[in-house]
Structure 1
Amino acid sequence: MGRANKVVLAYSGGVDTSVCIPYLMHEWGVKEVITLAADLGQGDELGPIQAKALRCGAVESLVIDGKAEFVQDYAFRAIQANALYENRYPLSTALARPLIAKMLVEAAEKYGADAVAHGCTGKGNDQVRFDVGIMALNPHLKVLAPAREWGMSREQTIAYGERFGVESPVKKSSPFSIDRNLLGRSIEAGPLEDPMTEPPEEIYLLTKAVADTPDEPEYVAIDFEKGIPVALNGQGLDGVTLITQLNEIAGKHGVGRLDMIENRVVGIKSREIYEAPALLVLVDAHRDLESLTLTADVSHYKRNVEETYSHLIYQGLWYSPLKEALDAFILKTQERVTGQVRVKFFKGNATIVGRQSPYSIYDADLATYGMEDQFDHKAAEGFIYIWGLPTKVWAQKTRG
């Protein structure tokens, strides 16, 4: 019995999503499959992918350029929030999922589809992000996940596809599972599943090994306006160009690699390798500029919000009431996060060596230890008496 008549399928051109096309039609009775490939800067030539979908049986093959929206509405929001999952991962892959979910829902509504589909398996995070994102945007749409249910091995999947004209990979496939977009790459599986195995150099594409990096440091000035990066070295750039250029600079100096054991949404631990040069540098630079422009209480309170915000993105809750409420708080904090941060790139390190802002609340006359010192040292004695009084009373009562 068919689960849906017309389906919009998130399509990458790989084996699983290609096999999804005949599988949906022949096993689940779907009459029409429309594929949607999102161009988020993954570097693939999408023309052949578009043609492949039609050869595999799709009635229509959509390719949508989402790079500008991806950066402006997703990456820059995460930078304003200093979003690092488990204080390390800048969510380069996770941020793409709510946008793809939005594209699927919009296409389903435009073409009159009664369901959307994706090629995620039952062990990963992306199934959660797609399913929850789609149901938040349109709770009436069915969400189909054939690869989560078909129970076929990799070899069986390839054999099934060949029965319906899906070309099998012409070369032995890499043991690694790789996902890429403009913000970075994630690499997992194969020998990396042993947490003690050092990642082979061949898996890296965006970042150089430290031994191969330049022997001279490079300085880059990053300008922010209201928490959003707008210029490199004084040159105003659109978001896509800025991230592309910064990826190249940071990667050339060996900056941007992560190797971590990560707690997935579905309850298992996973060993992940990430390359996200620009995103990691921008979060670090943005946080530094906040240290110059935010009051201590706002800065400290925002750290708690940032951790929650990172979890919401990772766990597929981009379109949720809590995320929306936190957005309002974060946007308010960014009103004066404008200025410039100077970063030194050298031998695998991106070191912040300077920062300035028209809204700086750093006062050199208060901070200095020189003759210009304006701080009232006598006031400190009374402050310390009041501040320490509860501790003093406690000590008197408990120590004697």
Structure 2
Amino acid sequence: MAKQKIVLAYSGGLDTSVILTWLKESFDAEIITFTADIGQKDELDGLEEKALRTGATKAYIDDLRDEFAKDFIFPMFQAGALYEGQYLLGTSIARPLIAKRMVEIARAEGATAIAHGATGKGNDQVRFELTAAALAPELEVIAPWRIEEFREQFPGRAEMIAYAEKHGIPVTATASKPYSTDRNLLHISFESGMLEDPWFDPSADSNRDMYVLSRAPEEAPDQAEYVELGFERGDCVSVNGKRMSPLEVMETLNELGGKHGIGRVDMVENRFVGMKSRGVYETPGGTILFVAHRKMESLTMDREVMHLRDSLIPKYASLVYNGFWFAPERLAIQALVDESQKNVTGTVRLRLYKGNIMGAGVQSPVSLYNPDIATMEADPSKAYNQGDATGFIRLNALRLRVASGVAQNAKK
């Protein structure tokens, strides 16, 4: 009888390297690894060889960077998604793409299950499995961290490191520096280990070597740099006048933002599973894009459309964070977002300086800003008559006057 085939989401880090060997031994199965190239850079070097040497029968490494930027990052930024006022959802938005491709590989290979290395305490387990449920409910999902035997064998990262050393599996985590990272085209995240102490300061001089994508603002250039971003229908299509694909935009802005120390976030966030966790993020290019997109909208988007879209930002961000990318409610909100972006076209100029992003101008062929109407001087267009404001204010004040009268009568 043919062995069961399991497709494992494989990063080559400590957890998935250990899980690959453990799955093969525990399930007596063929393990097919899948690694999505979504911008990890040199983290992918030698990964196929490592997976096969560790026991995989086949190792997929697929370049999904273009799809990630075009179909996941850009639509999310059109929605203005920001989780709990700080997090640009760099890890969250990558998971549905990875799970989608895992499902495709599982079907092509005749696998009956997919597996992931997300801990039983985190959000990624939810994101992977909700995507699988939406796209391939017939597939079994194996989550080793939720299997009692696995947890008993690996109560902590120290035991995993020892297991890897025993089985000759090279890993970058060490007992002295055990924090975990997750990198892609949009950001890099750091969590666990020393970062579990919310009083620990990763930006202190002694800890600066932790950061990967950005300089410390103190070490950024002493001269500000201007950058111009061109938008069409809500998507950035050029940087400094050069036409670019979504992937090229992200790569270019990451370099610029990193150079100027932009996009560092250190926060304690609320996980979907109920606990608070501390995460440190670097999102240099995404932060620039987020600010520029908002400034472009300020000139071109109708007030009520903007306010309606903005009212949906917390919901949209939570859907992405919690793993509901392929849920009907996210798709419904996205349809509204798409409609809202049809006139978000023009150019934004920004000034980058030591971790800061300052607006330096915005223009658009479909601008809703009319200086003749907005001017404090005489209005040559006669579009606005100050006298009209009297009735406008009186009508809006009516309910306030009525309520005030009721309150005064109650005191008598």
Regarding TM over 0.5, the answer is yes
Q: How far apart in 1 are the matches of 2:265 and 2:193?
A: 17
CA contact (8 A) 2:264 2:280 kept: yes
Given the alignment, which residue of 394, 398, 406 partners 1:389? 398
Residue 25 (structure 1) shift: 2.1
When residues 167 and 256 of structure 1 are mapped into structure 2, their CA distance, relative to the original with a 3 A threshold, is closer
- Runs of 4+ in structure 1 off by over 6 angstroms are none
- Pairwise CA distance, 1:159: 4.3
> Is 1:189 aligned with 2:192?
yes
Give the alignment of 1:1-400 within 5 angstroms: 5-30=4-29, 32-149=30-147, 150-151=150-151, 152=154, 153-161=156-164, 164-167=167-170, 174-199=177-202, 200-372=207-379, 374=382, 375-400=384-409
Aligned amino acid, residue 323 of structure 1: R
- The answer as to whether partners of 2:161 and 2:173 remain within 8 angstroms in 1 is no
Give the deviation of 1:41 after TM superposition.
0.6
Per-residue CA deviation, residues 44-75 of structure 1 (Å, 9 max, x unaligned), is 35351101111111111111000000000000
Per mean C-alpha deviation after superposition, the further-off stretch among 293-302 and 314-323 is 293-302
Give the whole-Å Cα distance in 2 for the aligned partners of 1:255 and 1:242.
Answer: 16
Partner of 1:224, secondary structure, is strand
Aligned residue identity for 2:193: G
CA distance in 2, matches of 1:106, 1:120: 20
**CA 1:170–1:255: 2 relative to 1, 3 Å:** closer
Is the Cα–Cα contact under 8 Å of residues 293 and 337 in structure 1 kept in the other structure? yes
Cα 1:116–1:159 shift into 2, 3 Å: same
Counterpart CA distance in 1 for 2:194 and 2:296 is 40
Relative to structure 1, is the Cα distance of residues 243 and 57 closer, same or farther in structure 2, using a 3 angstrom cutoff? same
Distance 1:318-1:18 versus aligned 2 partners, 3 A rule: same
What CA distance in whole angstroms lies between the structure 1 residues aligned with 2:79 and 2:211? 27
CA-to-aligned-CA distance 1:338-373 (integer Å, 9 cap, x gap) = 111111101210111211111111111110012345
Name the aligned partner's letter for residue 11 of structure 2. S
List per-residue Cα deviations over 1:157-199 (Å, max 9, x = no partner): 3444456553466966623211111111111122222212211
Q: Indicate conservation of the 8 Å contact 1:119/1:145, yes or no.
A: yes
Q: Which moved more, 1:42-51 or 1:267-276?
A: 42-51
SS in 1 for 2:159: helix
Distance 1:399 1:170, change over 3 A: closer
Give 1:5's aligned amino acid.
Q
CA distance in 2: counterparts of 1:307 and 1:45, whole angstroms:
33
Question: Which is further off, 194-203 or 242-251?
Answer: 194-203
Instruction: Name the % identity.
Output: 45
1:390 counterpart letter in structure 2: R
RMSD (Å) for aligned C-alpha atoms: 1.8
CA shift digits 1:102-160 (9 cap, x unpaired): 01000001111010111111111111111111111100000111233211133433444
8 Å contact from structure 1 (residues 33, 60) kept in 2: yes
1:42–1:180 Cα contact (<8 Å) kept: yes
Mark the CA change 1:22 to 1:190 in structure 2 (over 3 Å): closer, same or farther: closer
Mapped contact 1:79–1:283 kept (Cα < 8 A) = yes
Q: Confirm or deny: 8 A CA contact 2:319 2:330 kept in the other structure.
A: yes
User: What code does the residue aligned with 1:278 have?
Assistant: G
**How many Å separate the matches in 1 of 2:216 and 2:45?**
33
Over 3 Å counting, the alpha-carbon distance change for 1:47 and 1:190 in structure 2 is: closer
1:120–1:148 Cα contact (<8 Å) kept? no
Cα distance in structure 1, aligned partners of 2:216 and 2:125: 33
Distance 1:166 1:247 in 2: 32
Matched AA of 1:15: L
The answer to whether the 8 Å contact 1:22/1:161 transfers is: no
Distance in 1 (alpha carbons) for counterparts of 2:66 and 2:254:
16
* Cα deviation code 1:294-334 (max 9, x no counterpart): 22111111112111110000001101010111111110111
Please give the secondary structure, in 2, of the residue aligned with 1:336. coil
Moved more, 172-181 or 49-58: 172-181
Say if 1:215 and 1:39 are closer, same or farther in 2 by CA, change over 3 A: same
Task: Give the letter aligned to residue 97 of structure 2.
Answer: L
Where structure 2 has 5 or more consecutive residues not aligned to the other structure, the ranges are none
Amino acid at match of 1:188: E
In the superposition, relative to structure 1, how do residues 366 and 167 fare at CA in structure 2: closer, same or farther (>3 Å)? closer
CA separation in 2, counterparts of 1:356 and 1:170?
48
